Amino acid sequence: MLILSQGPYDQFLLFGDSITQQSCDQASGFAFSPALQNAFIRRLDVINRGFSGYNTTQALAALPAFMPKPEQASLRFMAVFFGANDACLPGTTGQDVPLNEFKQNLRDTIQHKTVTAQKPRIILITTPPINEYKLEEHYLAKGVSDRSRTAEHTRKYADACKDIGKELAVAVLDIWSIMMAKAGWKEGEPLVGSKKAERSKVLDELLVDGLHFLPAAYKVLYESMMELICRTWPDQYPENLPSVFPVWTKAPS
């Protein structure tokens, strides 16, 4: 029997909260994780490590339990996507993490010994925007009042992600700015998504409950991710990567 010389597939690890966890769900249409998996099919394994409800403190504690050792698997990419829960207002859900602690948690995640041992290409995704109008409707439909998140407070966490990306010299996918630009927002104006601004049809079409992503938002995330990879690591773009196993006409039998 001929033993193939290729090693195992390298991994593309998606580490985040519920927005990452739910990115596998195709029930409503386009989904980010399957799209990324399809783009890298036969080249990389896309692994979803999304933890619904987690903030960065909880995520950092969980990290060592699932991060593979170099002898177990090779991590080619790691996307880090948190902040939606950290940015809750103090005294509301209990998920909030102070801004400085949030930034330190991001540093500690990116510089964790289990991550640095792998030397992956890091992609830090900013905290996305929220839609206060839709959040209010979502919770009122449940018969409760929720004021746990504001557009202004959430922006601070998106900016913090950019700060850490610059500080640690890692790639940043600024999904906050991308979505805000799609909504037509310009610096100096009231934040789109805030009750201080008119309701945004664009954010209504991107966020299902004012926080979580609809298929249209996952498509924006996917297209932005692929553009970032093509721009930052062109040699790692799927079309430029060889398949791990040969085409069937050259495969051993």
Catalytic positions, please? 18, 209, 212
List, in order, residues 6 or more apart from 240 with CB less than 8 Å away. 234
| Maximum separation of any 2 CA atoms in the chain, in Å | 69
Torsion of CA 96, 209, 161, 43, to 10 degrees: 120
Q: Which helix (H) or strand (E) holds 100?
A: helix 99-110
8-state DSSP, 40: T
List, in order, residues 6 or more apart from 114 with CB less than 8 Å away. 63, 64, 67, 69
What Cα–Cα distance (Å) separates residue 104 from each residue in 133, 163, 171?
A: 31, 11, 17
To 10 degrees, what angle do helices 175-182 and 215-232 make? 120
What's phi and psi for 8, nearest 5 deg? -70, 165
